[in-house]
Structure 1
Amino acid sequence: MADMNKRIRNIGIVPVIKLDSADQAKPLAQALIAGGLPIAEVTFRTSAGEESIRIMRAEFPTMLVGAGTITNVESAGKAIAAGAQFVVSPGYSEDVVSFCQAKGIPVYPGVNNPSQIQQALNQGLEVVKFFPAEASGGIDMLDALSAPFPTLKFMPTGGIGMHNLGSYIRKPYIIACGGSWMVKAELITQGKWDEISRLSREAVNAVHGFSFAHLGVSEDSVGTCMAASTEFGHLLQPVSEGNSSVFASDFIEITKSTSRGTKGHIGIRTWDIERALAYLAGFGYQPVNETIKRDTKGVMTVVYLDKEIGGFAIHLIRSK
């Protein structure tokens, strides 16, 4: 269960899919993978769900394939037999949770109130689906629920799209968001696989929230740093001095000693550094462990990547 939670968290989005024909399963899976989303929650809202899961698991063994809209033990059994690696329910069913746990299959039942959350904790769950997210109070309700249940994580689904994804995914108690905006029924019916890939890439970028933070100028001494900061100050204010560097506005950092990067460094903000590192590992980037900084809760706040881009070291910073 913990491994599945981590894998889902590293991706950050769970596409919720309704297929009218199992023939759509393979090209849809290909489109999602091409867009950077190697995961699918195939709902049991149609008769094609079971066979679609079987096809995806056989054709794309590295893809995470789960079953959604599982409302009873019989459906859970069929989904697991077809190869579902996780099970998602719209509501809370102790029977479904117990059945999946006995089978060793991660299960994410739907909750939207404290009583259901208490049930989930009593059954040993660490992650639950929050559904329907927007209709149940959205991020304000999740903020309220996370306070008395600090160990529980959520996977909100329902009413989430590009317009509000960032407000959800940045919260530390959310492991991923479920949604269907990148796999709309009309796109699947019309076979617009390239568009699904494009929307998936757009969603992946939004999950990470990458944005420019600052440009780092490397000086080799306090004297040259202060001289450069004075000159930058003619253009950019305020100038503020720290222990190891001086900032001219929020966008230029001048270091007091030689720092990383042949030409300097570029600071990039992201919602979640751990998730960003998992994503960037697919492009050959690794963290420089000795540069990692964490807050009092152990959450990573700063890290450098091991490879330069255009002569600049890349410095990830957790967005606040």
Structure 2
Amino acid sequence: MNKVIEELGLIGIVPVIALDDAKDAKPLAKALIDGGLPCAEVTFRTEAAEESIKIMAKEFPEMIVGAGTVLTPEQADRAMNAGAKFIVSPGLNPKVVKHCIDKGYPIIPGTSNPSDVEVAIELGLDVVKFFPAEAAGGLAMIKAMSAPYTQMKFMPTGGINASNLKSYLDFKKIVCCGGSWMVKKDLVAAGNFEEITRLTREAVDTMLDLKIKHVGVNMANEEEAFELADTFKKVFNFEPKNGNSSIFSDTAFEIMKKPGRGTHGHIAISTNYMDRAVYHLEKRGFKFEEASRVVKEGVFKAIYLEGEFGGYAIHLATK
């Protein structure tokens, strides 16, 4: 898979935008970055598309700006010359795809049926768009259609929103989702970029769904750990579950039989998607201890952030 598309997969959501005026490109790009989505698919449906891509790419070089609704090789060249890092088309036009491949442009063409997917495979692609997603059968259609094509991945776009985002991203053959609910045209027209930032941040929060899973309490020894577990049983009726190195009191507390990470203990934060959570938290300026990464049977299960927070170590964990 192309590295640009791999990063889009870590971001998880690709805002699909159509700008009527290139003056909105800079504040919109900033709103998306501030909200946690440093990427955009700028559609070539408007005259302002090319200039908008140029502005975004110049002002925010860290942003992954792509061009959507690319229908011809000439449009693909204009988009890439303007600074686009990937190309998206609504359908699968072999001429456009071959042109992009020959030029080294990452391209995600639209598909909606098995025949399209087979053409994409013949052209050497391993990621395609599924469009229009909801109108073409949604997640059920992707699951049914993708079964014979074990190596193909999908980027569904069209009808994706906050309410169905997780159901799509939970399917392993989906790289990321394209959506426009956080960049509504009326908000752009009104210059309400603060609301776009809020909706973007809300979209990221919905996707990651970061929640406290349990609190780990450091005890001096096993005896003290059992005493605290017994106390929690008496006070809260939290049933203790004994383990090798700790005792779980219900699911809320992990009572350590000897001091572990953190001055006072640790806090486990659950998330829907470990890789995406690590990516987004790193973009927020936090670092992780790679040596603490836990992978079991190929599944990324946990990892600690560097440092302490109020005397507690913090680690991410799968839900």
**Which residue of 2 is the match for residue 95 of structure 1?**
95
Which whole-Å deviations, capped at 9, do the CAs of 1:175-203 have from their partners, x for residues lacking one? 22111111111011111111111111111
Aligned amino acid, residue 52 of structure 1 = S
Residue type at the aligned position of 2:51:
E
**SS in structure 2 opposite 1:129?**
strand
Q: Percent identity?
A: 48
Q: Which residue of 2 aligns with 1:61?
A: 61
Superposed counterparts of 1:201-216, under 5 Å: 201-216=201-216
CA contact (8 A) 1:169 1:175 kept: yes
Aligned to 2:46: 46
Other-structure match for 1:150: 150
Report the equivalent of 2:120. Answer: 120
Please name the residue that 1:279 is paired with. Answer: 280
Contact 2:68 2:89 in 1 (8 A): yes
- 2:276 equivalent to 1:241: no
SS at 1:304's partner residue?
A: strand
Q: CA deviation at 1:216?
A: 1.0
Match of 1:227? 227
What are the Cα deviations for residues 292-319 of structure 1, in whole angstroms up to 9, with x where unaligned? 22132x2311111112221111111122
Query: Any conservation in 1 of the 2:36–2:280 contact (CA below 8 Å)?
Result: no
Distance 1:290 1:29, change over 3 A: closer
Inter-partner Cα distance in structure 2 for 1:170 and 1:295: 19
Residues 218-260 of structure 1 deviation map (CA, whole Å, 9 limit, x = unaligned): 2233222222212212214332222322212221111222211
* Residues 266 and 313 in structure 1, CA contact (< 8 A), matched pair in contact too: yes
Could you say which residue in structure 2 is the equivalent of 1:267?
268
CA distance in 2, matches of 1:183, 1:197: 9
| TM-score, length-scaled by structure 2 | 0.93
Instruction: Structure 1: state its 5+ residue gaps.
Output: none
Q: Residue 3 of structure 1: CA displacement?
A: 1.4
Residue number in structure 2 paired with 1:75 = 75
For residue 65 of structure 1, give the secondary structure of its aligned residue in structure 2: strand
Give the superposition deviation at 1:37.
Answer: 1.8
User: What is the one-letter code of the residue matched to 2:151?
Assistant: T
Q: 1:174 & 1:261 partners in 2: Cα distance? A: 37
CA drift at 1:146: 4.3
Q: CA deviation at 1:75?
A: 2.1
Question: Which amino acid is the alignment partner of residue 39 of structure 1?
Answer: C
Q: Is residue 23 from structure 1 mapped to residue 19 from structure 2 by the alignment?
A: no
| Structure 2 CA distance for aligned equivalents of residues 146 and 315 of structure 1 | 35
Structure 2 CA distance for partners of 1:214 and 1:145, relative to 1, 3 Å: farther
C-alpha distance in 2, partners of 1:259/1:160?
Answer: 43
User: Counterparts of 2:9 and 2:175 in 1: how far apart (Å)?
Assistant: 5
* In 2, Cα distance between equivalents of 1:312 and 1:157: 41
Task: Describe the superposition over 1:12-45 as per-residue Cα deviations: whole angstroms up to 9, x where unpaired.
Answer: 1111001111222122112222222221110011
Quote the offset at 1:148 in angstroms: 3.1
Once the two structures are overlaid, the 10-residue window that deviates more, 128-137 or 63-72, is 128-137
The alpha-carbon distance between structure 1 residues 140 and 252, as it changes in their structure 2 partners (threshold 3 A), is farther
Distance 1:209 1:5 in 2: 23
**CA shift at 1:269, angstroms?**
0.8
Q: Distance in 2 between matches of 1:145 and 1:238?
A: 46
Aligned residues: 318
Q: Mark the CA change 1:114 to 1:295 in structure 2 (over 3 Å): closer, same or farther.
A: farther
SS at match of 2:270: strand
